[in-house]
Structures are given as C-alpha cells and as structure tokens.
Structure 1
Amino acid sequence: MKQVQEISFPYTPDWQKKVVKWALQHFEYVSFHHPQGLPYPEDGFKTLLLAGHQEIPFEELDHTAGFKGGILSYDLKNRFEKLYSRNPAIISCPDLLFFAASLRISFDENLQTCLLASSVQDPSQLRDAIDGWEDTSTPTQVGPISKLQSKEEYIRIIRRIQEHIAEGDLYELNYCMPFSADYQSINPAALYWALAQKSPMPFSSLFKAGNLWLVGASPERFLKKQGNSLLAQPIKGTIRRGSSKEEDQRLKHLLRSSEKEMAENLMIVDLMRNDLARIAKTGSVQVDELFGIYPFAQVFQMISSLSAQLDPEVKFTEIIQACFPMGSMTGAPKIKCMELIERYEIFRRGWFSGAIGYIDEEGDFDFSVIIRSIIGDQDGNKLYFAAGSAITYDADPVYEYDECLLKAKAIMEVLTSFD
C-alpha cells in the first residue's frame, strides 16, 4: 500500500459539506459518519469521511491494513446460518461491501480542525482541488411515497405472529413494514443533511457504493471495539416526544415504567449476552446499563449497554459471525425469528436492519444498526426505507402499526420537503 501523507488545517461546516459532495462525485465508495453533537453512552460515531476505489472481500478484512469502510446487509445471515432470503427485493443490495480508504478526513468538531490523510495524492494538492471544485450536483425530486403494506394486512400478520408466540415458537419478533418511492433525480448529500437536521442522531451516516447509496439517521449501535473491549447497545422501547416539557416528562416516565417495554428490552439483552459469550473471555460479559432512557428529536428510546472482553486473537470476521444481525432487529430466539421474518415480511430487507461503520488501522471498529435510513439506486431511480417494532404476545397491533409510522415520520417529512 502506498505511503499515507497527512495535513491538518481549520475547516468550516460549509467546507465539510462541500468535501462530502466532492467525494461522492470522485470516488466509487464513500462512507461519511457524524454524531450530530448528541450525548450518548460511550459516545456516537466519530466525525469521519472515508473514500476509496478498492473493494475488500470479507475473508481478507482481517489481513488488510489501514482504514476501511463497510456495510453489512441483513441477508448476510444466510452465510452464517442455514437460512435464505426469497422475498422480493425493492432494491438489490450486496450482502456485504467493504473498501480500503485511500482518502480519510477526520474532523475535530470542538476545535473545527481536520486531518486529511491520502495514499494517492499529495494532501495539499488534494485540498486545493477540493477548494477549487464547483458543485454540479442535481436537485432532489422525489415522487409520491408508497406504503407497501395496508394497515389491515399488517394487523392480520401481527395476529398470526402472536399465535406463534402463544404456541411457544418464540418470545418476541421484530416485524418490519416497507415504504418506497421513485425519484426523477436525487442529491444524497442534500438528503443526508436535511435528515440530519430534522432528526439528528449519534450514528448518522452517508454511504455510496457505485450506483447504490444510503442516507441514515440511526440511534442504535451494533458493536464497538476498543482494544480488547467490545460494546453492544441494543434498543428496545420507543415512545414519542411530548409537545411540552410536562408532557415530555410524563411520556418519559411512561416508557421507563412500562413492563412490556422492559420485558422486550430484557429479552434482547439476554440474547445479546449469549451472542457475546460466543467470542468473549469466559465470565467477562456484563450489563453496564439496563433500561436507560435517552431523548432524541422525535422519540425517547430505551437503551441497554453490554460489554465483554476479547482475547487479542479474535478477528473481526469472527465477531460478526457470532453476533450478526443485531438481536433487536430479529427477536428471540434469533434463528426461529429470522425464519418467521422471512415467512411473514413482504420484502427482502437488504441493507435495512444490517450494519454500517468503519474499521481503523488498529483493528478497532464501530458499527451502527441500519434503521431510520433511506436506501437508493441511482440506476433505477428508486428508494426504499422500512420501520419495525417488537411484537410480543400482549402487543396491540394498532399501537405497533402507529409506532412504525412514528419511526418513519422524519424520513417521510424530509422526502416530501423536496417536492
């Protein structure tokens, strides 16, 4: 690999937006992450831009040096378990895609400085090229959003899932409903910043892989590794924000005291403990926080944090194989839930409910769960997104349907704002 050269310099928010647009037009693969200044247990993503042209096979990730950006499709489950995905794909997404970052820009949001590192061009010349670049991005014009499942059909399926729970097949299942739209033209960067403003999240992401793109505002971490420590932070439990401070506090208390939401959260915590135990040092898995309530622009979320210690020789690919996909997006027990998700959902999830993130040169990494995200195809001029909730025996199908619409609200408002 060519030697990496670096320069540091001050930046403005406008320059940050410009370099993201520039990277989208000059690189085959781009991954941009931003925590949006939100407090989060163990912090959100670093503010980081990675770009490159070289894809890395999954089997070679553990042996490839340098920074890497990547995305995992929910359907990667089929590689790890005896499962399949035969539902129709709204957009065809690769099961996984990682790339070597020949360009890396790390932003210090506090000091408004950045580090530009490149292995393909002199960083000073690269900065001059970016400064002199004229943005020729197309405007965003999105057609009507289609809800691909009726309320009546959704309720019918939820009741069928509850029959499985009553029969002892499972405890809870994360069921998702899809939305799609065609578009005349789209500017993923403009869409990203609009969604970030409407719904700022600690794991906001913008990803490009050839003709495919993703704009995400995720509140949920999948896995974070620092040294030999591994952190997981599943979310289960959602309630809307109030229109006043008093209503906000009432709703927050309602979520905190909900036996149903706590039971859902605890089931996923137990599932995650089991996943982590497969690759952790014996006895090192622990729950650091249970039922934490955290505020976001649209909702309160119930978040639990688990940690584990790894042996140094445990590889990234082994960690993913043991823990993917995140239990909060399947239910418990995981394998049975994934079988029933395939039976009852009406679409192939693709990148939705997978994971996105980055691996650094030391092998540390951070990945979020792909929710509250839009996935698009520039060749087909189509996009889709989805929303889901945890279905338990005593869940109210109408309430769960409304919860899905609440989770999709920010995306729908952003897409219609470009009309």
Structure 2
Amino acid sequence: FCVENKSTQGLPRDGTEEPFEPFDEPTQGSTFKERDTPPQEFATSVERAKREFAVGNLFETVLSQTFREKLTEEQRPSRLFRRLQARNPAPYGFFINLGEQEYMVGASPEMFVRCETVEGDIRVETCPISGTVARGADALEDAQRVKSLMMNAKEESELTMCTDVDRNDKSRICVPGSVQVIGRRQIEMYSRLIHTVDHVEGYLRPEFDALDAFLCHTWAVTVTGAPKTWAIQFVEENERSPRCWYGGAVGMVGFDGGLNTGLTLRTVRVKQGVAEVRAGATLLYDSNPVAEELETELKASAMMDAIVQAGPEDSPGLSSTIMRKEKAKVGDGKSVVLIDHEDSFVHTLGNYLRQTGAAVTTLRSGPSALKTMEGMIAKGEKPDLVVLSPGPGNPSDFGLSASLDFLTKHRIPGFGVCLGLQGMVEHFGGSLGVLSYPMHGKPSQISLKTAGKADGSIFSSLPEVFEVARYHSLHGIKERLPACLTVTAESEDGIVMGIQHNDLPFAAVQFHPESILTSPAHGMAILENTLSFLRYAEDDDEDTKLSGSDIVSQLEHLSVEELQAKAESAGLLTNGSKSELIVRLALWTHKTNEAKAGRLDLNEMAIPDLVALTQSLGLPKSDDTDIEQMDLVRQLEECLGIFLP
C-alpha cells in the first residue's frame, strides 16, 4: 500500500516463518482436558443463576464453557478455515495468525459495532442476537422451528433485555431521539442454527467518533448480561476458565473514520496444537438448565465438526459437493399407475412416488384409463400399484367404483388419497358425510389407531401423532363404515383419516401426504410403506419367485410317485415318464404364476391356442369336437387354481 508517496512495493519479505506445530502428546498429554466444565456442572451453574434472578440481583447473564480437541498436522488452522467457509458461512469470517503458535479461526454471525458517515453524521448500528433454535431437516421444518422460536416467550424476553441494554449503550453518546430499533426479532439462518436478531441504530453526537462507539458497547450484552457489571461478576465467579478471545471483537477501522466489527463467537482458538471452542447460552429465570447446557453444545458443534471431520474442502480446487452413493429404493423395478381425478396436486403426488424409485404412469380417470391398463396387462406390464388421486366433487363423478372393480378383478393393489378414500368407502358399502366446516389447506393432528400402528401398515414407523394437510369437505362416516374396512387413523375432531381393507391390499388416507403441511419425511414414508406392504400374498417380490430352471431343478429331486401325486392334485395327467411329468408340472407352475401376475389372459386366447395349452399341460382331452372357448377357459382356470371374477 501507499502512504504519502511511500510504498511497500519491492520491500523484502524477510519475516520469520512459523509453521503450525500439531499437538505433542509426550509433553502435553498429561494436562489435556476435553472440556473445562464437566458434564452437568453447567446446568448446576444455571440453577445458581436462577437464584440470583429470583432475588433481583440479575436480569440475565451469559455463561459459557470451552470444548477442546487435539490437532494433528492434517488439522492445521488454514484447513479448518477452509472447512468453515464451506460448511458454516457467516458474515464475519476470519483467520488470524497471532504468533507463538496461536491462531484464530472464526465464523461469527453477530455484528458488534459498525459506524459509517451518512451526510456528515456518524451512524452507529448493532445487531444483537439472542434467541436460538436448531435448524430443521428442510425449509418446511425450518418454518416450523421459526414459528416455535417466535412463539417462545422466554426467547423473546432474552432479546428484549439485550436490546434495551444496547439502546442504553448508544444513548450515552448518541443524539437524543436518534436511537431507534429498525428491525425487531428478524430471523437469521446459519448452517445449524436459527437466531432472532434486532437491528438498532443511532447517530453520534459531534464530540464522539467510531472508537467511542466501540468502547461504549464493550462488552456486548449478548455475551455478558444485565445489569452488565453484576452479570460480568457472576460470569467471573462461575465460569471454569478465562474467556481469552471469546466475546471480544474482530474487524477493521477505516481511514475514513468508519468501523466494522463482529463479535468473536463461533470461533476456534488454536494454542500449542490444541483447538478450543467456547460457546455460551443466555440465561433467564425461565431457563431450563439441561436445555441451556445442550444449547452450548449445539452452538459449538459446527466448529467441532470443522475440526474433526475431514472433507473435500481440504484440497483447494476440489468441489466441496459431497458425492453420495445412490441407495436402493423400495420402488425400484416397480410400476405404478396414478389415476388423475382432475386434481391440482396429482403431479406432486407423482413426484413423490417417483422418489421411491417406481416408474409412474399418470392416466386421466375414466374408461380410457381402464382400457390402457388392460393393454398393459396384456403385454405383461401389470402395475404393482394403482393410486387413486384426490379430486373435486364426488367419487361417482369419476367412476371410482368401476376403477376399484377393475383392481379387484385383476388383483392389483390400490391406494387412495382424499377422494380415493371416499371412493373406497362408498364402493364397499359405506356412507359419506359433509363437514360442517370445510378443511381446505388446513393442518390437523392425526392419531394412529391400533391397526395403523401394526407392522405392515402404511403408517409403519411413523409417530403415533403427527400433523397432516387436509383439503376436503366430504368424509367417510365412521359409524357407517362397512365391516370389511378398518380405521387406521383419525383426526382430532374424530374424522376418519386412514382406512385399510381387511382382506384385499387396499388402503387410503383422507389427508394429502404430498402437501407442504405434511412433513415430507412422513409423506414419503407413507408412500414407501404403501409400495412395500400393499400386495397380494402370493405376489411377493420377484426375487422370491422361481425361474423356470429353478422349478425344474426342484422337481428333479422328486420320485416318479411324488411327481404323479403333485400332478394329480393339480388336475393333470399322471401318465408318462419322469421327464414328461417334470415338463408338465414345470409348465403348470409357470403358467400359474403368469396367471396370478395378470400376464396370462385366457379369455383373450383363440380356441386353437387354448387346446394347445390344454394338451401341453397334460390335461385330459375332450371328446367333444364342438367344445366352446368358455369350456376350455374354465378347464384351464380350474387347473391353474385361479378363479377370476
């Protein structure tokens, strides 16, 4: 840089190099401790603070504890900094070599003091953070966590007291009336935490500058407490080790008189090969001691993860995207037909089904859908599941009863959503009612009934109570359900939310598993369970079915007498050699499996083909030269052991 025509350019870089030195076990091992505060002792200190709150000595205080980790050469500070940049980006990131084997690596979320000149006046601002909850698994769960945080009176009180103290700090040096809260309980999200943040500003009186503003706020109420002096004294008496750099500040003073600093929170201090992470919790009279101790551990976790967990960030130039191996999915190799009843959520439902690994075909409801499925069955592409989508109106508007007849005839499992449930109720003899208050886009808690909690239920592994999305006016009347249907789930107001058939692989839900009001984890689990458990007992997974060579191999071990007995029980001829009996029984087994899988439609076969099949199976020949197709089909159905409606 240049100052008054003097430049650093060309000056020799002759400073002393000090490479990082990892932890030395022989000389340091005996004094190393993983944390400065034994487990549960922090909670004990919280109880002590609550006694001070009770008598009015304190309003709030911030206690902290330190976690430590030994560092190897692979965990050098520069590598920790790269990991934090990738995994826990924050407004104030820094990496400082302080000399004498001491380093600071930080990713602080909190502004301490910032000053800038605005139209000739110095504006000072701060963003106190108080109020914390863990991040959810996704944006939808984040929204629930934010809601709980905003509704938490204790967390609101924390931030209120911090901001009142912060306003007091500014009032010492700011123009009267200029101190304003310009942002209240704003949400900030980081890799593992969600915080509530206030934004406070003021304008300095002419006799003060940015350094005065910095000093007036030392040290921040969000790392000390209130009243500050008494809170700091309590910290001094109850924390087990010096804070060192924790709760200080890092930043810059500009040549223009400006200042921008962040608190040294979420910071790794490295000293003599040991990484230290200090984390605190704001305590109030309402504090739960165990929860406050857990909060410090949660706040420290992102830093500790950067210390102990290697990753692609360790090699500059490599992508930090982690490549994950595809896991096997329950829907792999399965075919699903989704019948659309003019619904506006059907494609989302199809998206969820595809995430299970299944191949999904969406068909408009009506005779054309059934005809298309008949064609699929004729080509040996019988669906593993048919899903009856939600939709407006009544089940009869879309001929759901005809769809269910088709599924029953062709032995295809069925799953209904919303209108699909209503259609099942009506089809099997139940009655529908109309809600007194329509539930459109409304959340409800549902409870699993005994059948819903059982192994093999579509609700298997789900909580006994969870929240779902409802979009319906019609509902199945519980008191008028047919005996063949069992209730698996109910809403808080006693409305049927889930059913299953007692004998057929049919199940349905009244709610929408694909809505954002239903946890995606719960919605996906229901669909995965549906694909796993809804099937006819004899139509188990393909890997349990025997191939032709397997069938022959098993039959070869039987004696002629045993083969004859099996043939007789199947209605086949018992004459011929052992080889002829094996071929006859193998063909019968294969054709039986084809029929059960819907790949063999006898009614579609011509008489010559039926006669050939009859003879190849070794069935008794008919002397009737005018035998009709219906008689041949009946004879084959009896032989194959199938009784199609």
Structure-2-length-normalised TM-score: 0.43
Q: Deviation digits for residues 167-212 of structure 1, max 9, x if unmatched?
A: 1101111110111233344532221111121111111111222222
Q: Report the counterpart of residue 301 of structure 2 in structure 1.
A: 409
**Which residue among 337, 345, 365 is the counterpart of 2:239?**
345
Q: Deviation digits for residues 48-87 of structure 1, max 9, x if unmatched?
A: xxxxxxxxxxxxxxxxxxxxxxxxxxxxxxxxxxxxxxxx
Assess if the C-alpha contact under 8 Å between 2:24 and 2:273 holds in 1.
Answer: no
Assess if the C-alpha contact under 8 Å between 2:115 and 2:210 holds in 1.
Answer: no
Q: Does 1:194 align with 2:86?
A: no
Q: Report the counterpart of residue 98 of structure 2 in structure 1.
A: 209
The aligned amino acid for 2:86 is: Q
Q: Secondary structure at the match of 2:236?
A: helix
Assess if the C-alpha contact under 8 Å between 2:21 and 2:273 holds in 1.
Answer: no
Q: Report the counterpart of residue 270 of structure 2 in structure 1.
A: 376
**Which residue among 114, 137, 142 is the counterpart of 1:224?**
114
**Which residue among 236, 242, 251 is the counterpart of 2:130?**
236
Assess if the C-alpha contact under 8 Å between 1:142 and 1:416 holds in 2.
Answer: no
Assess if the C-alpha contact under 8 Å between 1:178 and 1:386 holds in 2.
Answer: yes
**Change beyond 3 A, Cα 1:337–1:139:** closer
Q: Secondary structure at the match of 1:147?
A: coil
**Change beyond 3 A, Cα 1:189–1:332:** same
Q: Report the counterpart of residue 100 of structure 1 in structure 2.
A: none
In structure 1, what is the Cα distance between the partners aligned to 2:137 and 2:24? 29
- Equivalent residue runs for 1:156-305 within 5 Å: 156-185=44-73, 187-211=76-100, 212-227=102-117, 228-305=122-199
In structure 1, what is the Cα distance between the partners aligned to 2:134 and 2:85? 18
In structure 1, what is the Cα distance between the partners aligned to 2:4 and 2:302? 40
In structure 2, what is the Cα distance between the partners aligned to 1:385 and 1:152? 18
Assess if the C-alpha contact under 8 Å between 2:124 and 2:213 holds in 1.
Answer: no
Offset at residue 234 of structure 1 (A): 0.3
Q: Deviation digits for residues 143-185 of structure 1, max 9, x if unmatched?
A: 8981221222111111011000001101111110111233344
Structure 2 unaligned regions, length at least 5: 26-31, 312-645
- Equivalent residue runs for 1:56-95 within 5 Å: none
The aligned amino acid for 1:404 is: T
The aligned amino acid for 1:365 is: L
Assess if the C-alpha contact under 8 Å between 2:113 and 2:214 holds in 1.
Answer: no
Q: Report the counterpart of residue 66 of structure 1 in structure 2.
A: none
The aligned amino acid for 1:195 is: L
Assess if the C-alpha contact under 8 Å between 1:141 and 1:418 holds in 2.
Answer: no
Offset at residue 138 of structure 1 (A): 5.9
The aligned amino acid for 2:304 is: M
Query: Structure 1 stretch 313-322 or stretch 396-405: which is displaced more?
Result: 313-322
Offset at residue 262 of structure 1 (A): 0.7
Q: Secondary structure at the match of 2:86?
A: helix
Instruction: State the superposition RMSD in angstroms.
Output: 2.6
Q: Deviation digits for residues 111-147 of structure 1, max 9, x if unmatched?
A: xxxxxxx93115xx99xx9xxxxx9966977989812
- Equivalent residue runs for 1:380-395 within 5 Å: 380-395=272-287
**Change beyond 3 A, Cα 1:416–1:332:** same
Structure 1 unaligned regions, length at least 5: 6-117, 130-134
In structure 1, what is the Cα distance between the partners aligned to 2:218 and 2:18? 39
**Which residue among 151, 154, 162 is the counterpart of 2:42?**
154
Q: Report the counterpart of residue 391 of structure 2 in structure 1.
A: none
In structure 2, what is the Cα distance between the partners aligned to 1:249 and 1:322? 37
Assess if the C-alpha contact under 8 Å between 1:291 and 1:304 holds in 2.
Answer: yes
Q: Secondary structure at the match of 1:196?
A: helix
**Change beyond 3 A, Cα 1:278–1:382:** same
Assess if the C-alpha contact under 8 Å between 2:36 and 2:241 holds in 1.
Answer: no
- Equivalent residue runs for 1:294-333 within 5 Å: 294-333=188-227
**Structure with the greater relative contact order (CA < 8 A, sep ≥ 6): 1 or 2?**
1
Assess if the C-alpha contact under 8 Å between 1:279 and 1:319 holds in 2.
Answer: yes
In structure 2, what is the Cα distance between the partners aligned to 1:182 and 1:4? 47
In structure 2, what is the Cα distance between the partners aligned to 1:293 and 1:153? 31
Q: Deviation digits for residues 82-110 of structure 1, max 9, x if unmatched?
A: xxxxxxxxxxxxxxxxxxxxxxxxxxxxx
Assess if the C-alpha contact under 8 Å between 1:220 and 1:368 holds in 2.
Answer: yes
Offset at residue 417 of structure 1 (A): 1.8
Q: Report the counterpart of residue 363 of structure 1 in structure 2.
A: 257
The aligned amino acid for 1:3 is: V
Q: How many residues align?
A: 296
**Change beyond 3 A, Cα 1:245–1:319:** closer
In structure 1, what is the Cα distance between the partners aligned to 2:172 and 2:47? 34
In structure 1, what is the Cα distance between the partners aligned to 2:106 and 2:276? 12
Q: Secondary structure at the match of 1:151?
A: coil
More strand by percentage: 1
The aligned amino acid for 1:187 is: R
Q: Report the counterpart of residue 397 of structure 1 in structure 2.
A: 289
Q: Secondary structure at the match of 2:40?
A: helix
Q: Report the counterpart of residue 321 of structure 2 in structure 1.
A: none
Assess if the C-alpha contact under 8 Å between 1:137 and 1:187 holds in 2.
Answer: no
In structure 2, what is the Cα distance between the partners aligned to 1:282 and 1:152? 46
- Equivalent residue runs for 1:136-155 within 5 Å: 146-155=34-43
Offset at residue 323 of structure 1 (A): 1.1
The aligned amino acid for 1:322 is: C
Q: Which has the larger radius of gyration?
A: 2
Q: Secondary structure at the match of 2:104?
A: strand
